[in-house]
Structure 1
Amino acid sequence: MITLKNLTKAFGKQRVVDEACGEFEKGKVTAIIGPNGAGKSTLLSMASRLVTPDGGHVLIDGKAIAEWDTGELAKRLAVLRQANSITMRFTVRELVSFGRFPYSKGNLTTEDNKVIDKAIDYLDLKSLENRYLDELSGGQRQLAFIAMVIAQDTDYVFLDEPLNNLDIRHSLSIMRTIQRLAHEMGKSVVIVIHDINFAACYADHIIAMKQGKIATNAVVDEVIQEAVLENIYDTPFTIVEANGKRMCLYY
């Protein structure tokens, strides 16, 4: 389990995360939602040691994240950030193989290649594995990056807005994959996401942020409530039931 204790971060005079607490459990998808500027990506960056907090602590299985060796941390925690621009020309398979670097340091073993094959098959990318990234659609490239994260084979997977600029088909494919990673492979998957309905359908737990603070931290059904969402987003919501799931209408 990853535990966040009173995380605080300020940029200049602006406190973007304020005394945030929470837990990321294995076998579950945790969605971090909230308005623009609420501090979602900063919280995820502190939880993954990409940004140093001004206050508070992050614990991975009871050990402070600052105490983890970088190489060992890379075997426990994988992060996919918003911007994934690569200037060099790589095939899908070459990209996915980067996920094995913490283990092989670039010298791929037979076992590494088996893991790479499994990740490519998991995302149904076999027919594209020898295609170059610049030959793919945005959704296909995003799936390739997620395959790289799967190949890293960590207990914890952090994804910062992986659905940006994707069409509905690729967004659904990625959310289904995220759910399978948690429920079938026992990983803790944490996703920063703007689409509340995707969070409602595919997450197990939601952390909702507003103005740097944790506004709500609960299971999905407790968050997908009209009064709760209206307080977070300052806009009216209507909740409807569809196929056993609560869906949000906003206007």
Structure 2
Amino acid sequence: MIEVKNVSKHYDQQPVLQDICATLPSSGVTSIIGPNGAGKSTLLSVISRLLLADSGSVSVDALDVSDANSEKLAQVLSVLRQENHFTSRLTVYDLVSFGRYPYSKGRLNADDRRHVEQALGFLDLIPLQNRYLDELSGGQRQRAFVAMVLCQDTKYVLLDEPLNNLDMKHSVAMMRQLRRAADELGKSIVLVIHDINFASAWSDYILAMKGGRLVFRGTPQEVMVPQVIEDIFDLPVTIEELNGQRIAVYYR
């Protein structure tokens, strides 16, 4: 499991994470929700060592993230940032194969190629594998980045806004695939997500943040109640049941 203990982070004396303590399970789908500026992406970056915390600690299966060997950490934890920029012209296959770098160091063997092909198939990218990234739609490119992370074949997969650039149909398809990765591949999927109804429908566990603090945690049934959602987003809502799932409804 991922253990976050008393983690704080400041930017120019401004607190963005304040004494965060959380345990993220070693399987299933965990969503981090909250309004803009709540600290969601910063928390994900600290967990993945893209940012260093000012205080506190993070461990992944008892591996201390702050001083862990980079190669070893990259074999248990992978992360997809919200913004990804590649200056060179890459095909989808080339991009996804980058996920094997912690193992192959750029020299793919048969096992690496098998993982690449599995990831391409999992995200329905086989027909696009020889296309260049700049020839893809935003949604197709986002699926390729997620495939790259899955290709890394880590137990923990951290995704910052994986539904970016996806319409509703493709957002549903992406969440189904991430759910499958958790259920069929045994991954622990941790994602920052803005749509709380997607979080409710597909998650096992939800962390709710506001103002740099972790203000609530629990199952979708526990989190998706009016008083909790209204407190997090400062917005009146009603919660309705639909096919056994709790959905937040907003009114004009």
TM-score (norm 2): 0.97
In structure 2, the residue corresponding to 1:78 is in which secondary structure?
strand
State, as a whole percentage, how many aligned pairs show the same letter: 53
Q: What CA distance in whole angstroms lies between the structure 2 residues aligned with 1:36 and 1:60?
A: 27
User: What aligned pairs does 1:49-68 form with structure 2 within 5 A after superposition?
Assistant: 49-68=49-68
How do residues 54-203 of structure 1 correspond to structure 2 at under 5 angstroms? 54-203=54-203
Q: CA deviation at 1:156?
A: 0.5
Residues 184-239 of structure 1: CA deviation (Å, up to 9, x unaligned): 11111110010010000011100000111111011111001011000111110111
Corresponding residue for residue 225 of structure 2:
225
Which structure 2 segments of 5+ residues have no match?
none
CA distance in 1, matches of 2:63, 2:136: 40
Shift of 1:63: 2.6
Question: More deviation in 151-160 or 54-63?
Answer: 54-63
Kindly provide the CA deviation profile for residues 147-182 of structure 1, in whole angstroms up to 9, marking residues without a partner as x.
111110001100001112321111111111111111
Structure 1-normalised TM-score? 0.98
Question: d(CA) in 2 for partners of 1:23 and 1:189?
Answer: 13
Alpha-carbon distance in 2 for matches of 1:172, 1:191: 15
Instruction: Report the more deviating stretch, 172-181 or 102-111.
Output: 172-181
Helix, strand or coil at the partner of 2:66: helix
Q: Does 1:41 align with 2:41?
A: yes
Which whole-Å CA distance do the structure 1 matches of 2:145 and 2:101 have between them? 14
Distance in 2 (CA, whole Å) between partners of 1:70 and 1:6 is 23
Other structure's SS at 1:32 match:
strand
Equivalent residues, number: 251
TM-aligned CA deviation for residue 18 of structure 1: 0.4
Partner of 1:12: 12
Q: 2:241 & 2:202 partners in 1: Cα distance?
A: 15
Residue pair 1:26, 1:182 contacting (<8 A) in 2 also: no
Alpha-carbon distance between aligned partners in 2 of 1:32 and 1:61, rounded to the nearest angstrom: 20
Amino acid aligned to 2:200: A
Q: Is the 8 A contact 2:8 2:18 kept in 1?
A: yes
Distance 1:85 1:52 in 2: 22
Q: In structure 1, what is the Cα distance between the partners aligned to 2:181 and 2:26? A: 10
Partner of 2:236: 236
Kindly provide the amino acid, as one letter, of the partner of residue 198 in structure 1: F
- Post-superposition Cα deviations, 1:90-136, rounded to whole Å, max 9, x if no partner, equal 11111100000000000100111111111111111111111111111
Question: Any gaps of 5 or more consecutive residues in structure 1?
Answer: none
Partner Cα separation in structure 1 for residue 220 and residue 19 of structure 2: 22
Amino acid at match of 1:56: G
* Paired residue secondary structure (1:66): coil
Q: Runs (4+) of structure 1 moved beyond 6 Å?
A: none
Question: 33-42 vs 169-178, which deviates more?
Answer: 169-178
The answer to whether the Cα contact below 8 Å between 1:27 and 1:185 also exists between their aligned partners in 2 is: no
The CA distance in 2 between the partners of 1:126 and 1:176, in whole Å, is 18
- Aligned-residue offset at 1:65: 1.0
CA RMSD of aligned residues (A): 0.9
